[in-house]
Amino acid sequence: MDQISEVKQKADIVEVIGNYVTLTKAGRNYKGLCPFHSEKTPSFMVSQELQLYKCFGCGQGGDVFAFLQNIEGIDFAQALEQLAEKTGVKLERAQYDPEAGKKKLLFEINHLTAEFYHYLLTRHPSGKNALDYLKNKRKLSGEAVKEFKLGYAPETWDTVYQFLLKKKYDPNDMADAGVIVRKSSGQGYIDKYRGRIMFPFTGMDEKIVGFSGRTVLDRDPKYLNTGETAIFHKSSFIYGLNKAKVAIKQSGAVFVEGPVDVISAYQAGIRNVVATSGTALTAMQLKLIARYTEDAIFCFDSDTAGAAAIQRAIELAEKEDLNVKVVIVPDKYADLDDYIKADPQGAKAAIKNPVPVYDFFVADALKKNNKESALGKKKIMEELGQKFSKVTSSVLLDHYIKLVSKELNLDTETVHGILSGKSKPDADNLSEEKDEIRNEGYTLSKRSPQEYLIALLLKTPLDTAQSILYKLAQKDFTNPVLQEIFTELKEYNLGRKRKFDIKYFSNTLSEENQNSVNELYLWDVEHITEEPRRLEIELETAFARIKRETAKKELKELTDKIKQAELEKNTKLVGELSEKFKNISERLL
């Protein structure tokens, strides 16, 4: 018997599916509500005899491997590995994975650390204040604390370190797992998390890949997350997906900002909520969600940073061809957690009936600007003109033209011209304003547009800085020091809500980078950063120059590659590289 047959024979399909679906006996078979589509009457049947399942509502069906692949969004090899582990079948690998032993060790360390933190929170005196905070202020039940294995890292230097040492784990492996860090002196180790409520990051296979620790001592950063490790990659991890995957298949994925929002929603019976957890939403996370649903729903915090995050998320999600909607959290609530605690039924209704993305664009523009003033109307129309210029449906466009005309008390022809992209508000005056500001102010950048942009961003309002940083990449900075500063600044700012603290940020850098940042912060740019319109144009100009330089560099590299491919007479590669060259060239026009 081959290994696949052995695993299939030992894996009872009723038991496996029963972990995801409530099954009831129906004669010789079992039935339940289908996890792959929304239904009220069970049409999902499972045969223990045949070891097969079939939904007569949506048509999904197959064996135990097919079920696991569909429900988990994984390939056959991963399904085989998961089932082999559950059934105790040891797979023979064609090629030994040198990292397998190391990864197993890191999983063990994370598991023990999570259990230890959970014990300290729920059963030890040191965790009492943290547990009181979760139960009384955040209104999380004991069941929710247990379900999500929340924990507490005490305000001590080496509690976890000593605990793991007694378990005979090597400090180097603990550091590789991310639960301890080397002392600043370089000699010895201390716990990474101190005085923090701990949220384990659980993967799809229920193994703990990392942690997020929220301070209970009002210490920066508010959330401290595991860095990149052999088993944790933040750009592709989604908090709560292991518990939400079935509900997401039925109702779409609701993205929130933090783990407490996820747990609060789960406790309230809303099971399709997940979080990006301390990082801006990435394309990798959306690709992962696309395995389970075509519907991405964003429910970020009600402040300016939350609205900016939604704007960025929408752009990414549309590139992945996802159906995008938005849950608007009322201004009187800070986030979904607050909304659920104050009005659980209202929050449930808002999540069940999210608004179309263009409704959000209109609401956000009206919220940020005074619709009663001429300048406010101009700003609203400038913002909406950029968003609606992509709309091709005349019916959709007509609907919003009437809506915006009514809200702003403007003539429908005026609104139609701007939203359809046929005219722009005060285009000539705007161009003159840009020229005037550019001629007067963009002199500092002659030193280096990259340095100039960083100098501006260090003093730019947080939401504006976040939107610029999000659109830049490390490759846009040719100077290695500026590359590192940009990476650190982006990591520090994205997802942040508190005011930027230059002293704290500077102290997190290496000595060389710290000196450079301190120098850039001393640049005399206040006459620009204190004038919002002027700052906007300076940022736009510096950003455009940097992107243009990046494109030119990419074109030069492609030219060299094309020449090499021509010498090798590789016509296919020449064609592919030429197409890339053409696309990048068009960006320079």
The pLDDT, as a whole number, for residue 345 is: 96
Exposure class string for 158-195: b at 16+ Cβ within 10 A, else e: bbbbebbeeeebeeebbbbbbbbeeeeeeeebbbbbbb
The pLDDT, as a whole number, for residue 240 is: 97
Q: Which residues pair with 212 in a beta bridge?
A: 199, 225
State both tokens at 24.
């009831």
Residue 409, by phi and psi: left (phi above 0), alpha (psi -120 to 50) or beta?
left
Q: What is the mean pLDDT of residues 471-478?
A: 87
The pLDDT, as a whole number, for residue 444 is: 43
State both tokens at 431.
């161009």
Instruction: Compute the mean pLDDT over every residue in the chain, rounded to the nearest whole number.
Output: 87
Residue 495, by phi and psi: left (phi above 0), alpha (psi -120 to 50) or beta?
left
Exposure class string for 231-241: b at 16+ Cβ within 10 A, else e: bbebeebbbbb
Q: What is the mean pLDDT of residues 63-74?
A: 88
Bigger pLDDT: 92 vs 245: 245
Q: pLDDT tens digit string along 377-400?
A: 999 999 999 888 877 788 889 999
Say what percent of the chain tops pLDDT 90: 47
Helical (H) or strand (E) element with 62: strand 61-62
- Alpha carbons within 13 angstroms on the beta-carbon side of residue 215 total 8
Q: pLDDT band at 589, cuts 50/70/90?
A: low
Residue 545, by phi and psi: left (phi above 0), alpha (psi -120 to 50) or beta?
alpha
Q: pLDDT tens digit string along 94-116?
A: 444 557 789 899 999 999 999 99
Closest CA to 437 of 545, 530, 536: 536
Closest CA to 87 of 1, 7, 206: 7
The pLDDT, as a whole number, for residue 425 is: 59
DSSP code for 475? G
d(CA 456, CA 440): 16
The pLDDT, as a whole number, for residue 429 is: 46
DSSP code for 169? -
d(CA 133, CA 139): 8
Greatest extent of the chain over all pairs of C-alpha atoms, in Å: 83
The pLDDT, as a whole number, for residue 434 is: 47
208-215 β-sheet, strand order:
151-153, 196-202, 208-215, 223-225
d(CA 475, CA 528): 26
- How much is the CA Rg of the chain, to the nearest whole Å? 27
Q: How far is CA 351 from the centre of its chain?
A: 19
> Strands 273-275, 253-256: parallel, antiparallel or unpaired by DSSP?
parallel
Q: pLDDT tens digit string along 411-449?
A: 998 999 899 877 665 544 444 444 444 444 444 444 588
To 5 degrees, how large is the angle CA 335–CA 533–CA 491? 45
d(CA 23, CA 18): 6
Residues contacting residue 147 through CB under 8 Å, at least 6 positions apart: 243, 266
The pLDDT, as a whole number, for residue 98 is: 58
Helical (H) or strand (E) element with 308: helix 304-319
Terminal-to-terminal C-alpha distance of the chain: 64
Helical (H) or strand (E) element with 305: helix 304-319
Answer whether residue 92 shows pLDDT above 90. Answer: no
Q: What is the mean pLDDT of residues 284-296?
A: 90
DSSP of 73-105, one letter per residue?
Answer: T--HHHHHHHHHHHHT--PPPSS--TTHHHHHH
Structure pTM?
A: 0.67
Q: At what angle do helices 449-457 and 511-521 cross, to 10 degrees?
A: 80
Q: pLDDT tens digit string along 176-229?
A: 999 999 998 888 999 999 999 999 999 988 999 999 999 998 888 889 999 889
Residue appearing with tokens 């994205």? 494
Burial class (CB in 10 A: 0-12, 13-18, 19+), 119: middle
Answer whether residue 483 shows pLDDT above 60. Answer: yes
Residues contacting residue 292 through CB under 8 Å, at least 6 positions apart: 73, 245, 248, 249, 253
**CB contact at 8 A, 454 and 483:** no
The pLDDT, as a whole number, for residue 424 is: 60
**CB contact at 8 A, 450 and 543:** no
The pLDDT, as a whole number, for residue 557 is: 86
**CB contact at 8 A, 54 and 267:** no
